[in-house]
Amino acid sequence: MMSYYLKEWIKQAHENEKVKQLLAMPDWEFCIVFRDGMSDPTAGCVHNGVQYSEWDINTAYRCKWPDADPLF
């Protein structure tokens, strides 16, 4: 049952426009957004005129590298 919800969460994340933009970025560019967005106390960043929230960045990270270590 848990895997069903996880699959649905990933499906919804892929449909989010900002997450789509993050997933389409090359890895080097995504790493810059990740560093800027997660190191700032406001938890988010603006990259190329687009505001990405901590949720957008974290979701894209999990979708891009599902086998990576957890962030927290």
| Tokens describing residue 8 | 């649905």
Would the pTM of this model clear 0.85, i.e. be above it? no
In this structure, the dihedral spanned by the alpha carbons of residues 53, 23, 10 and 42, taken in order and rounded to 10 degrees, is: -10
Domain count within the chain: 1
With respect to residue 51, please indicate whether it lies within any of the assigned structural domains. yes
Q: Tell me what the mean pLDDT of segment 17-42 comes to.
A: 88
Residue 71 belongs to some domain of the structure: no
Res 23: pLDDT:
93
In a domain, 37, yes or no: yes
Tell me whether residue 15 is in a domain.
yes
Tokens 């997660």 locate to: 38
Cβ contact 26:61 at 8 Å = no
In this predicted structure, what is the pLDDT of residue 72? 55
Phi, psi for 16 (deg, rounded to 5)? -70, 130
Range of the domain at 24: 2-64
Residue 69 lies in a domain: no
Please name which of 22, 24, 29, 28 lies closest in space to residue 61, comparing C-alpha atoms.
22
Report if residue 7 sits inside a domain: yes
Q: At which residue do the structure tokens 């699959």 appear?
A: 7
